[in-house]
């Protein structure tokens, strides 16, 4: 599997769905997503997808 921006753009949706299923009360508090400075993590598509899902994006 090639790891690129399009792949990482799908992950926040999956993470949000898993949190909603397992710990629905935590979504109201807000979440932070920490990523390293990999180009695929910093792509505009990935960052926009994370913010759209309600995550605050932290970078190192």
Quote the number of domains for the chain: 1
* Cβ 33 vs Cβ 58: under 8 Å: yes
Residue with the larger pLDDT of the pair 9 and 24: 9
* Cβ 52 vs Cβ 16: under 8 Å: no
Give the structural domain span for 22: 5-59
Question: What pLDDT does residue 28 have?
Answer: 64
Residue 55 has a CB neighbour count (10 Å cut-off) of 18
pLDDT tens-digit readout, 25-57 = 766 666 777 777 777 777 888 888 888 888 888
Q: Mean pLDDT throughout 15-29? A: 78
């Amino acid at each position: 599997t090639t790891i690129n921006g399009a792949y990482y753009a799908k992950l926040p949706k999956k993470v949000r769905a898993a949190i909603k299923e397992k710990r629905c009360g935590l979504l109201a508090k807000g979440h932070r997503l920490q990523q390293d400075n990999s180009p695929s993590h910093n792509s505009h598509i990935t960052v926009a997808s994370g913010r759209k899902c309600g995550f605050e994006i932290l970078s190192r």
